[in-house]
Structures are given as structure tokens and as C-alpha cells.
Amino acid sequence: MGRLFGTDGVRGLANADLTPDLAMRIARAAVTVLSAKGARRPRVVVGRDPRASGEMLEAAVTAGLTSAGADVQLVGVLPTPAVAYLIADTDADFGIILSASHNPMPDNGVKLFAKGGRKLSDEVEDKIEAELDAGAAGPTGADIGRVTRFDDGAARYARHLLTAAPGRLEGLHVVVDCANGAASTVAPDVYRDAGATVTAINADPDGVNINDECGSTHLDVVAETVRALGADLGIAHDGDADRCLAVAADGSVVDGDQIMAILAIAMKETGQLRHDTLVATVMSNLGLHQAMKEAGIHLTTTAVGDRYVLEELSKGDYSLGGEQSGHIVLPAHATTGDGLLTALLLMARIVSSGQSLDRLAGAMRHAPQVLLNVPVTDKTVVNSAQVMKLVEHHTRELGDSGRIVLRPSGTEPLVRVMVEAMTAEQAQQVAQDLADAVRASV
């Protein structure tokens, strides 16, 4: 059996791969590993996105936590970064978020955050996994954990965001696509309270429509609305709102790399970019490397996953990092990727600079990039001799004018093939060649 935890918690088909029993055992094990030792009973914050299976899994993890003697604060449907904030704000021992982020509705996930709202290291996750089948006797009587409802979580998170926002947004018309997810509960109101004129779309979650042809994985929806209304920009979140992608007034996409470039340049101008360094992953486009070099900003890269970005930010005492997918991390205000915070800072930059989003995004020019997702039953095929030999061949062929990244997905049964080259045609040809080799090796 492979490692249970992926790059963002434990994720799979709800009630099949991710069963209530597994969720309950993860919760019990987490109490053992993550609770502070002392007289106080452990306290745990539990939140979820609005997908239907979240109700079932919330009941399961609540049972696991209380049966291990932990008190539970249920915050209901809230963005992942909101739950992370509330863990720190309430001094809880740890927290659990039930979400599969951008995945389709049938999937769900268990994300764990340690004290202070921080993501877990691989080593801590391994300890939790080792505890899954411990089977220790649980407490009885008055020592069983209790459950309370945390009703003002959304309001406390909203106040935090508005305090972190660097400026007002009057005069800006934004279309926000909430992906029928957790952003629906907070994002439109926060952007209005910051001064923007807001048109909210896909903000009516019913448990089954989350990420359904909407949100950050389907940007054509928000782009069409922005053009139709003549709005200044569009913001698109994913199911748990830890991502933010954008579209300009003409409907052109502004991805996470461009957002990072915009924010990095703005923060350098105001002296907020610590050590003049941006942290990104190996999946970021070569164009971001070039743009940062031109702006006098150092770019350091990590493995894919915002947890690795967070580790590098902490290690180097840096102030901005993120992923091409729209996970942007700002350690001064958040312990994880926060799509709403990112959107507020991006919109504030538009207002303060007096420039349109497409003009600001022009600081970075994309190198042609092709990303192919290859379904596999065994992700280790990326290390097969046939595949590695072909990677070496094409790497020599591309030289300094291109790049290849071949990696197993941490959240889905896929191998991701990413190729950058001087031309789109060459990138497509190399990527297809590698994808075919992966399929042939399965």
C-alpha cells in the first residue's frame, strides 16, 4: 500500500476510497499526535466545503475526535484559509478541513492543520498514519470530548481579511466566481465591504454543484461574464477558496504566475518583499523567472505543493510565494494559501497603480508551455527506464531554451507532463511524446 497522505492531505472518492471509518481513524490518530501534552483537554476546529459528502465525513471526524477525548468546534462551511486562521485565533490544538479543493464533487478530502494553523510536515503525517490502527482504549464518562458550534467564524475571518487589505477598492467592478464552493459564504461580502462593486456568480452551493463547470478550473465562465458586464476584472476561486485566478477586462486569463509577478513587484516597491525573493514551484513558467530577473527579484523554487512553498518561506524568512495554479501564500497574514486575501491584494494593486489588470500582468511574458495529465494506475511509471531515457533525450534537445517536469499528481491518479520550449509546436510535440511513453509503461 502506498503512502496515505498526498500533497494536500488524504483525498479520494468519498464513501469508497475515503470512507467514514478511515476519516474517523485519521481524526483519532491526529489527537494522539497533534495534541499538546498537559492538563487542558485538546480543542480541535473542524470545517468543510459544501459538497454533500462533507456532512457525512464531518460526523465521522467529530466522532473520532470526541472518542479520543478532544473537544470539537464546528465552524461549518468556510474556506480552508478561514479554518486555518481560526485555529490560530482560538489557540486550538489543531484543525481538520473536509475538502477536495478543485476536485469534482464525488471526491472529498481530510486536510490537517497543526497548532497555529500550519500545515503538517511529511514526518508528522507519517506519525499519524502509523497511529491509524493503534486501537488504544478511549476515554469514558466525563472525559469524552464535547461538541460546540462556532457561529461567528465567517465574521471573524472577514474582519481579519479587511484588516490585512492594503487599500480600499472603490471604483472597481469585479465579477467573482465562487465555484459553488466555500467562497460563497464569504467572498462577495468581503469584496463589497472593501469598497468594490461585486457581481457574484456560481455562489449558490447545493452540495452537488461545487466546481461543476465553474470556478478556477473553468475560467471561460467568469471571462464571459466580465466581458458582458464591462467589469474591470474577474476573480475565480476553487471549491475551498485557497486558490485565486483572475481574468482581465478583455477576458484574458491571469494565472498564478502572473499574480505572483504583480504582487512581488508591488511588494518590492514598498519594501515588503523580504530579501527581494519570491518562492515558486518547479511548475512555474520560465517567463516568471525572466520577469523576476528583470525586476531585480530572486526566484527560488520548490517541489509542487503549497506546503513546500510554506516550508521554504519559513526557512528563508521570505514574504511571498505560491503556485501557478493560484495558491498564493503571504506569511504576514496567512499560514496557508488564501484566495480571498490574494484577490484583495491584487485588486488593491490595480487601484493604487491606476493600471488595468492586463497592463500589470504584462510584466510577465509566458514561455510556450504544455501540460498534459496522463491517467495511470501506477504513478511509479515516471521512474521507468523507458520514460527516464526519453526525458534525458528531450532535455538535451531543449537545452537552456526549454524545460521538462514529469511528476505524479499528489491528489489524483495522474502523471503530469509539463514541457516548455521556444515554440508551442515544439512543446506540444515533446509533451505528447513523453505522455505516450508514460501510457506505454503502465
pLDDT tens readout for residues 252-279: 999 999 999 999 999 999 999 999 999 9
Phi, psi of 109 (to 5 degrees): -155, 160
Strand order, beta sheet including 253-254: 197-201, 173-177, 233-236, 245-248, 253-254
Pairing of strands 71-77, 43-48: parallel
| CA gap 403, 420 in Å, rounded | 5
Task: Please tell me the predicted confidence (pLDDT) of residue 2.
Answer: 67
Task: Please tell me the predicted confidence (pLDDT) of residue 286.
Answer: 87
Evaluated on CA atoms 320, 324, 328, 329, the torsion sign reads negative
CB 93 within 8 Å of CB 43 = yes
Low-confidence ranges of the chain (pLDDT < 70): 1-2
Catalytic residue annotation: 101
Would you say the pTM of this structure is higher than 0.85?
yes
CB 291 within 8 Å of CB 264 = no
Q: How many other CB atoms sit within 10 Å of the CB of residue 207?
A: 13
Task: Please tell me the predicted confidence (pLDDT) of residue 394.
Answer: 94
Strand order, beta sheet including 328-329: 298-302, 277-281, 321-322, 328-329
